Amino acid sequence: MKDAGYCSWGRLCARDQQVRPLRWTPAALEPEGRPLLGRGLGRSYGDVCLNDGGVLLDCAGLDRFLDYDPERGRLRVEAGVSLAAILERVVPDGWFLPVTPGTRFVTVAGAVANDVHGKNHHRAGTFGRHVRALGLLRSDRGALTCSAEDNPDLFRATVGGLGLTGLVTWVELQLKAVPGPAVEVEAVPFASLDEFLALSRESDGRWEYTVAWIDALGRGPRAGRGVFFRGNHVEGEAPAPRAGTRLAVPPGTPGWLLGPAAVRLFNALYHRRQAARRRRRVHYLPFFYPLDGIRHWNRLYGRRGFFQFQCVVPEDAAVAVLGGILERAAAAGQGSFLSVLKVFGDVPSPGLLSFPRPGVTLALDFPNRGERTRALLRGFEDRVREAGGALYPAKDALMSPAAFQAFFPRWRELAALADPAFSSGFWRRVTEVAA
């Protein structure tokens, strides 16, 4: 048994946390006095993947393929298989992930637990919609198969269930057919949030993938400017980026490297580079996973780490609320390395607590400057709540219990279906002081 050292992607760490690496799927789970929690690759930013005072069941070693039908694109894998491993195996056969987040270094069980979304949410909905079935190991009921037909209540609770319903041991996915590894991408600069919304509306019918990067530091007339990316899988070759040339950020990189000047420089460079080139064919790796090329990029924020803030608000409130948040962040000089905008579609999410819902989602990073940053983010939470939106637990470290319970009104249903031996830092934080 190892001690702590398992932190989150935002570099939040837990106290008094034990880690048990799993290499073989356990036959049973014994309650042991300390709460249990499954752990994937720790790509969640806050405490949904932490368990202070408890035990993390590290599933990264449960990484075997169990079944693959290359004719029908059906794949069953153990919980800890990464999306990267899946792509490597299935893309040469003409298959692709039906939904992928912005990093491929996440596990299938992690993707289920947060019911993750991608740039094709307007078409495909969330990851959970493509899960045909999953294996769940419970401390109280043993091994179960869950799907829309078998144990449907537990299936709905486990998708987006934040790891609380037990240990996911395997996942069966329906893959998506693609013509090859290439993606055709178009980059369209825009000058305001209104323009962004218009571009989205116009693009979502013809383009499978849409997302925008915004200049989160732009103020005055430059506020809300950005680049809109839209892409489709296409036939033909695209050279894969060379393996082994990945950059890595060494541990101990000081946080000042990411001061406002560095952020401004980065944003300006990015803006120019992307806007200058319009339609082109690229390999899927740089299109879907631009940051995966830099290992440990989270270290750029220094030892204090950072917060990510991701919200969704209804489309009619988007310009006012998101514009207000961006303006306030820029004014506070707490600019973001990464600012991403996307319009979610109305494909229903299967999970009780899935985050995606119709509206516009915005994700921003904030270096942790202590109370100043916390206060700023509390203010944003209030605005989102007033607008009838929600915050994303996978990215959160600060959400208040009252806000959580307003954003996810079905949380008591999840609580009732949770495994009595499981809990997480996040769950205790947002429910124990329940109203």
Partner 1 sequence: MSRRVVILGATSAIAEQVARRFAAAGDRLYLLARNGERLEAVARDLGIRGAAAVHHAAAPLDQVERHRALLDAAWDALGGVDILLVAWGTLPDQRRCEADVDETLRQLHVNAGAVIALLTDAANRFAAQGHGTLAAISSVAGDRGRQSNYVYGTAKGALSVFLQGLRNRLHRHGVRVVTIKPGFVDTPMTAAFPKGPLWASPERVGRAIHRALLGGPDVVYVPWFWRWIMLVIRLIPEPVFKRMKL
Ligand X SMILES: Cc1cc2nc3c(=O)[nH]c(=O)nc-3n(C[C@H](O)[C@H](O)[C@H](O)COP(=O)(O)OP(=O)(O)OC[C@H]3O[C@@H](n4cnc5c(N)ncnc54)[C@H](O)[C@@H]3O)c2cc1C
Cα 408 from Cα 123, distance rounded (Å): 23
Q: Does 111 engage in binding with ligand X (CB under 6 A)?
A: yes
Q: Where are the beta strands (DSSP E) in 247-338?
A: 247-248, 280-283, 294-295, 306-313
Torsion angle, CA of 415/416/422/424, rounded to 10 degrees?
0
The option from ligand X, partner 1, none interacting with 66 (CB < 5 to 8 A, set by class) reads partner 1
Which runs of consecutive H residues, i.e. helices, occur in 167-259? 193-203
Judged by beta carbon, residue 78 or residue 365, the one nearer partner 1 is 78
Nearest approach in angstroms of CB 45 to partner 1 is: 23
Question: Using CB distances below 5 to 8 A depending on partner kind, what does residue 67 bind out of partner 1, ligand X, none?
Answer: partner 1
Name the token pair of 215.
């200049």
> From the CB of 179, what's the least distance to partner 1, in Å?
22
Q: CA torsion angle for 215, 220, 221, 225 (degrees, to 10)?
A: 20
Q: Which does 9 bind (CB under 5 to 8 A by kind): ligand X, partner 1, none?
A: ligand X
Instruction: State which residue, 109 or 387, has the beta carbon closest to ligand X.
Output: 109
Question: Shortest distance, CB of residue 117 to ligand X, whole angstroms?
Answer: 5
Q: From the list partner 1, ligand X, none, pick the one residue 2 interacts with, judged by a Cβ distance below 5 to 8 Å according to partner type.
A: partner 1
Alpha carbons within 13 A on the beta-carbon side of 211: 22
Determine which residue in the list 14, 36, 37, 258 makes contact with ligand X, applying CB under 6 A: 37
Q: H helices within 354-393, ranges in order?
A: 371-386
Piece of 31-39, 149-157, 279-287, 407-415 that binds ligand X (CB under 6 A) = 31-39
Applying CB under 8 A, which residues contact partner 1? 1-3, 5, 21, 23-24, 61, 64-68, 89
Residue 235 C-beta: closest distance to ligand X, Å: 26
* Residue 107 contacts ligand X per CB under 6 A: yes
Cβ atoms of 104 and 288 closer than 8 Å:
yes
Please report where in the chains the tokens 């040469």 appear, as a residue. Answer: 92
Strand runs (DSSP E) across 22-84, as ranges?
36-39, 55-58, 65-69, 74-78
Minimum Å distance from CB 194 to partner 1?
A: 48
Residues 6+ away with beta carbon under 8 Å from 100: 83, 116, 118, 288
Specify the 3-state DSSP secondary structure of 320: helix
The distance of closest approach from Cβ of residue 171 to ligand X in the complex, given in angstroms and rounded to an integer, is 9
Indicate whether 106 belongs to the interface with ligand X (CB under 6 A): yes
Residue type, 7: C
Residues in a beta bridge with 187 = 229
* Binder of residue 221, out of partner 1, ligand X, none (CB less than 5 to 8 A by kind): none
Dmax (CA) for the chain in angstroms is 61
Q: Which of the choices partner 1, ligand X, none does residue 89 contact, using the CB cut-off of 5 to 8 A by kind?
A: partner 1
User: Binder to ligand X among 12, 14, 25, 40 (CB under 6 A)?
Assistant: 40
Angle between helices 315-331 and 193-203 (to 10 degrees): 140
Task: Give whole-number Cα distances, 68 to 89, 98, 159, 306, in Å.
Answer: 10, 15, 22, 39
Interaction residues for ligand X, span 115-134 (CB under 6 A): 116-118
Residues 61-100 that bind ligand X (CB under 6 A): 79
> Any idea what DSSP says for residue 41?
S
Q: Does 101 bind ligand X (CB under 6 A)?
A: yes
Residues 7-26 close enough to bind ligand X by CB under 6 A:
9
Of 76 and 385, the one with the shorter C-beta distance to partner 1 is 76
**Interface residue with ligand X, options 14, 154, 168, 387 (CB under 6 A):** 168
Binding residues vs ligand X (CB under 6 A): 9, 37-44, 48-49, 59, 79, 101-103, 106-107, 109-111, 113-114, 116-118, 162-163, 167-168, 291, 394, 424
